[in-house]
Chains A and B, each alone.
Chain A
Amino acid sequence: LPGAASAVVGANVMDKPTPYKDASSYNNFYEFGTDKSDPVKYAHTLKTQPWAVEIEGLVKKPGRYGLEDLMKLSPMEERIYRLRCVEGWSMVIPWVGYSLGDLIKRVEPQGSAKFVEFITQADEKTMPGVRGGALDWPYVEGLRMDEALHPLTLLAFGMYGEVLPKQNGAPVRLVVPWKYGFKSSKSIVKIRFTDKQPRSSWEKAAPQEYGFYSNVNPNVDHPRWSQATERRIGEDGLLAKKRKTLMFNGYETQVGQLYAGMDLKKFF
């Protein structure tokens, strides 16, 4: 899946990309099991064709958008983003896709729409983890409208120049590089525009530990561990000191103004 180099500011970090093998075998995708080696083992059962994304809620042009049409909606770009997991590890991944904003503008949200909710596929037959009760299915995530419209917020269809592997959220997923990885929904089937802040799956599961914003922030620790440092997968060797986590995962210049005046300890 080819993509032209992106002109979006901040879309091409200079860090060395994580080896493809690591990025496609060390995944959190609970629909296929809670162990990080589960998705690569079990995701082959996911049926990504045919696939459609339902656009609904406070929007002038709701409807079902087939994957083919969605892929043609805007030119594909390659973007090299840092990915920081809430668990304290990170990767650098070359994604292929386009700004979610391109889709949002096309479907014309109503003035009352303040948030965007993303709903993930939850099929018991093809996703063994959905039979387990780790989370409330389907997996739900959300963004504030200005976050969703930010040019760095990516609707991704591929990585490393190829179509997304199933364990990485095929056929279409979100990538929000300044937030912890779990905010970036995989295998999206529904995008809903609403006037109320959506309640995400992790917020529901543990409200003290996972907030709606979940911006990468080395100064606001998880209640039970520090977020000041991270281990870069495939690069930081066994004896390497962990690297310092950057504010907004290094995208502060691009996204800092979205949160001006907000108490980030309160809105974690």
Chain B
Amino acid sequence: MRSWLRTRTAWWALLAIGLLPLAWLLWRTLADQLGANPAETLIRATGDWALRALCITLAVTPLRTVLGWPELARFRRLLGLLTFGYAALHLLCYAVFDMGLDGGDIARDIAKRPFILVGFSAFVLLLALAATSFNRAIRWLGAARWQVLHRAVYAVAVLAVLHFWWMRSGKRLYGEVLIYALILAALLSWRVLRRLKQRPA
């Protein structure tokens, strides 16, 4: 298993799995299988998958350390880019289906609904991370600075949960939000605990 993880095939396999939700959504769109409110289905589904991809991305380091499988690290960038991809689609679906790509309407909507600003901020951070995700960017920025920048993913996790929580607060349906919040809180606190342990008393 571990030697297979080092192969090119493993990387392509993960990419293919990561694109399955997108393929499924495209198929349902073309086959008119998105239900009575297709726009809402697409906006919500892309948001859900962005959040799921984020959870999986943030699980890589804890898994790698706990299992002692350093080869998992090479999937982190791909998973991060998939997160960015679904977040970009989520934003695009909102802008096109809900707002008719009208800049003025979007600006008014952000003023009216701060949770959209929160989601948009998370997207801007993800964009910065995606734009500096290739090897040359690490060299340009220097490894230390690059690492500091990429810690912004923790802020993305907090903003994403806040965005989702705020969206659901209209109807006080917090169950699902709580699940994601707990998963992300566990993944982040694992990092905090590790830092505390590494630091000499």
Contact = CB atoms under 8 A, between A and B. Distances in A.
Given A233-B37, A242-B100, A224 B172 contact: no
B171 interface: yes
Interface in B61-116: 96-98, 100, 108-109, 112-113, 115
A134 B109 CA distance: 27
A62 B160 CA distance: 54
Contact of A238 (B35, B36, B97, B112): B97
Interface in A213-236: 221-222, 224-226, 231, 233-234
Interface string A7-26: 00000000000000110011
A206 B172 contact: yes
A26 B113 contact: no
Nearest to A25: B36
B112 A221 contact: yes
A89 B172 contact: no
A241 B100 contact: yes
Interface residues of A, number: 24
B97 A225 contact: no
B17 to A, nearest CB: 26
Contact of A231 (B37, B170, B171, B173): B37
B38 interface: yes
Given A238-B97, A239-B96, A241-B100, A224 B170 contact: yes
A134 B35 contact: no
Contact of B171 (A21, A25, A26, A134): A134
A134 B173 contact: yes
Nearest to A205: B172
B112 A225 contact: yes
Contacts of A26: 35-37
B44 to A, nearest CB: 11
Given A22-B36, A206-B172, 17 more contacts: A25-B36, A26-B35, A37-B35, A89-B40, A134-B172, A134-B173, A209-B170, A222-B170, A224-B115, A224-B170, A225-B109, A225-B113, A226-B109, A231-B37, A238-B39, A239-B96, A239-B97
User: Which A-B residue pairs are the 9 nearest by beta carbons?
Assistant: A26-B36, A22-B36, A241-B100, A233-B36, A34-B173, A224-B113, A238-B38, A238-B39, A225-B113
Interface of B: 29, 35-40, 42, 96-98, 100, 108-109, 112-113, 115, 170-173
